[in-house]
Amino acid sequence: MIELQIELGDRSYPVRVGAGARHHLLDVLPIGVRRAAIVTQEAVGVTVDPGVEHRTFTIPDGEDHKHLGTVEDLCRDFARWGLTRGDVVVAVGGGLVTDLAGFAAAIFHRGVPVVHVATTLLAQIDAAIGGKTGVNLPEGKNLVGAFWQPAAVLCDTETLATLPPREYRNGLGEMAKYAFLGVDGLRDLSLDEAVAACVRCKAEVVASDEREGGRRAILNYGHTLGHALETASAYDLRHGEAVAIGLVYAAEVALRLGRIDAARVVEHRRTVAAYDLPMTLPPGIEPSELVELFGRDKKAVDGLTFVLDGPAGVEPVRVADRALLLDALEAVR
Ligand code: GLY
């Protein structure tokens, strides 16, 4: 088992990565916890034993259930069971479950501790780490949420063996991102080591900027187009697939701004291709619609902010040139 630590002062927490990590749940529960509300989905099929009185709450499958109505239903179930701040929420599943259950934990009784048992590659290397929780609005992805750090995260790599291939590829989109955030040689590592290397990278970024005042935005590399594509495709494209296209697009934008050269764009394309991920827009999506959606991105505080590669590495950059953005979209069409 590889043990890492997210260093956030008195809100620091451990992340355990390895086959069978889910069996460590009792070890990482906050001290004195009375009961555990396990939140999962039917399709996850992973059972955990918190070693204290518990009840399982099942939320529906599918991104179209990641909305405030599901959070309300869950909170009402918590209330009927009598969940208190002396208890714990245990989210068992992928990013949808950890985002939604984490958000319910953040707001129920103004904050109940949460432990994430991440069962997908995407959740293990991204969603479950760093305290971002939330749900979608019809207007865009993850537009409502809260920062709510978990008490611990268990990344059980055994659960990845039975993931449907498309769900596994969903995580590879995020893994490809880390290759541009300074994590070298990912493809040569064992699965446990690769997951741990991504978590280590994210841990360092989150510790330096927990609430995304600046640097944490680099974790959104590839996500501006990625989120727009998810919304425009009505979530037909999976997050990691959309991010993969977004990585290539971000390189094309950076090229047009003179921040990187053509060889670096080729490196982006090669990395995405090596993970067998898509690099072009799906048919039927209009570039002008995507540019409109860029403006709804949470990073768009002042005009359009992209995360772009450049001489100093990946960083947030304001891009005002709509024609340049449209031209770069043609390169991924
Ligand atoms: N997924 C990006 C972040 O956690 O900041």
Catalytically active residues are 110, 132, 174, 202, 212, 216, 220, 223, 227, 239
Name the pairing type of β-strands 305-308 and 315-318: antiparallel
Nearest CA to ligand 1 atom 2: 219
57-110 per-position pLDDT tens digit: 999 999 899 999 999 999 999 999 999 999 999 999 999 999 999 999 999 999
> If we measure between CA atoms, which residue out of 204, 199, 239 comes closest to residue 223?
239
Report the pLDDT value the prediction gives residue 141, as an integer from 0 to 100. Answer: 81
Distance from C-alpha of 40 to C-alpha of 42, rounded to nearest angstrom:
7
Check if 220 has its Cβ closer than 6 Å to any atom of ligand 1. Answer: yes
Ranges of H-type helices in the chain: 25-28, 68-81, 95-107, 121-122, 165-179, 191-208, 223-232, 239-256, 262-274, 287-294, 322-330
Candidate from 6, 215, 220 with most ligand 1 atoms within 8 A of CB, to mutate: 220
Report the pLDDT value the prediction gives residue 77, as an integer from 0 to 100. Answer: 98
pLDDT surpassing 80 at residue 301: no
What is the number of the ligand 1 atom nearest to the C-alpha of 220? 2
Contact criterion met (CB below 8 Å) for 160 and 191: yes
What is the 51 CA–ligand 1 centroid distance (Å)?
31
pLDDT band at 299 (very low <50, low <70, confident <90, very high): low
221-245 per-position pLDDT tens digit: 999 999 999 989 987 899 999 999 9
Check if 126 has its Cβ closer than 6 Å to any atom of ligand 1. Answer: yes
Please, which residues have CB within 8 angstroms of residue 203's CB and are 6 or more apart in sequence? Answer: 4, 5, 6, 7, 15, 129
Contact criterion met (CB below 8 Å) for 201 and 181: yes
Name the pairing type of β-strands 2-6 and 13-18: antiparallel
CA distances from 200 to 70, 240, 281 (A): 32, 19, 31
Nearest CA to ligand 1 atom 3: 219
Check if 142 has its Cβ closer than 6 Å to any atom of ligand 1. Answer: no
Q: What is the DSSP letter of 92?
A: E
Contact criterion met (CB below 8 Å) for 71 and 90: no
Please, which residues have CB within 8 angstroms of residue 6's CB and are 6 or more apart in sequence? Answer: 12, 13, 14, 15, 129, 130, 149, 153, 203, 206, 207
pLDDT more than 90, % of the chain: 92
* The model scores a pTM over 0.85: yes
Distance from C-alpha of 2 to C-alpha of 18, rounded to nearest angstrom:
6
> If we measure between CA atoms, which residue out of 145, 158, 144, 130 comes closest to residue 24?
158
5-35 per-position pLDDT tens digit: 999 999 999 999 999 999 999 999 999 999 9
pLDDT band at 140 (very low <50, low <70, confident <90, very high): confident
pLDDT surpassing 80 at residue 303: no
CATH of 2-163, one of 3.30.70.1140, 3.40.50.970, 3.30.1240.10, 3.40.50.1970: 3.40.50.1970
Question: How many residues in total does the chain contain?
Answer: 333
Contact criterion met (CB below 8 Å) for 102 and 90: no
Average pLDDT of the chain, as a whole number:
95
Check if 132 has its Cβ closer than 6 Å to any atom of ligand 1. Answer: yes
Check if 229 has its Cβ closer than 6 Å to any atom of ligand 1. Answer: no
Which residue in the block uniquely carries the two structure tokens 């990946």?
314
pLDDT surpassing 70 at residue 56: yes
Contact criterion met (CB below 8 Å) for 273 and 187: no
Spell out the domain ranges in the chain.
Answer: 2-163, 214-330
pLDDT band at 297 (very low <50, low <70, confident <90, very high): low
Distance from C-alpha of 131 to C-alpha of 148, rounded to nearest angstrom:
5
Domain 214-330, what architecture? Up-down Bundle (1.20)
What is the 69 CA–ligand 1 centroid distance (Å)?
23
What is the number of the ligand 1 atom nearest to the C-alpha of 132? 4
Report the pLDDT value the prediction gives residue 234, as an integer from 0 to 100. Answer: 85
Name the pairing type of β-strands 305-308 and 132-137: unpaired
255-290 per-position pLDDT tens digit: 999 999 999 999 999 999 999 999 999 999 999 999
Reported for 313-319, long-range contacts at CB under 8 A and 24+ positions apart, including other chains, are 313/182, 313/218, 314/180, 314/181, 314/218, 314/221, 315/218, 316/214, 316/217, 316/218, 317/257, 317/259, 319/253, 319/257
State the burial class of residue 219 (Cβ atoms within 10 Å of its Cβ: 0-12, 13-18, 19+): buried
Task: Give how far the C-alpha of residue 108 lies from the chain's centroid of Cα atoms, to the nearest Å.
Answer: 22
What is the 324 CA–ligand 1 centroid distance (Å)?
26
